[in-house]
Amino acid sequence: MTKKTASAKTTSRAKQCFAEHLARDPELSALRAEYAGESATKRRKAAGWAYDESIASSLFRAAIAHLPNARENWPAPAWPAGFEALAIDPEYAPALLTVGGYELACGRKAEGMELLLQLTRLSPKTEDWIEIIDEAGQALMDGGDAANTCKLYEAALEASPGEQAFITGLGWALCRAGKQQDALPWLERAVANDPNNSTVLNDYGWGLAELGRFDEAQKVLEKAIQLAPAEDDLPANNLARLQQLRKNARAFRPNGP
């Protein structure tokens, strides 16, 4: 593996997206060329090693930053976390997730989305494939991008149409995008697949509530409360919110009781 080194170029490097780094940085380019002819197994192993190292380094730097008399000039990494792993193996899912999130955080939505959508093009047999795509969806939603969260789950469902996590994810994302009517068939399908799952029932119940179908929503949320683990108070909170929605609707109903 090419030895990476920190340099004075680190600051300027950090402003570039991964594709620019790969095209212009001779060390990353060398890594891509070095492993292109290797077996998938060897690439994956090397990428995993590089990825774990970059994450460990990031955690270490974050930890020492809080220590008394921490070194202000601690050597910076040559590249952002995940870059080296993705150069070694362009299909290494954890690196696609991490680098995609990095691009989004830098305001490069198109570049970030392209990397996250690559996750949906990997083999469904990829290790932790479902969980990693779900993490990507959560990251997009945390960034306030419901539209691209929907796009991600739609692409994932093209690859694996019956996957419950993606069915639920799309229904949830459509609700957050304000498309409750479009979300409902997906949430109904998710409930049909797993009728005693409190998380699925909670999402379905709240979707009904947002559509103003309060009686149906209350029944679903009450069932979700019964089935939810003791530490999960979201269904109960949503039931309380439902009651407030119902109260508000009555208050604004012309000539209503």
Per DSSP, the three-state class of 108 is coil
Burial of 54 (0-12, 13-18, 19+ CB in 10 A): buried
pLDDT 10s digits, 135-144: 999 999 999 9
| Cα–Cα dist 37/34, whole Å | 7
Neighbours of 218 (CB within 10 A): 17
Check: pTM over 0.85? Answer yes or no: no
pLDDT 10s digits, 207-249: 999 999 999 999 999 999 999 999 999 999 999 999 999 988 8
The mean predicted confidence, pLDDT, of the chain is 88
Per DSSP, the three-state class of 119 is helix
Band of residue 251 on the pLDDT scale cut at 50, 70, 90: confident
pLDDT 10s digits, 28-47: 999 999 999 999 999 999 99
In the predicted model, what is the mean pLDDT of residues 67-78?
62
Tokens at 22, concatenated? 């790969």
What is the percentage of the chain residues whose pLDDT exceeds 70?
Answer: 85
In the predicted model, what is the mean pLDDT of residues 189-216?
95
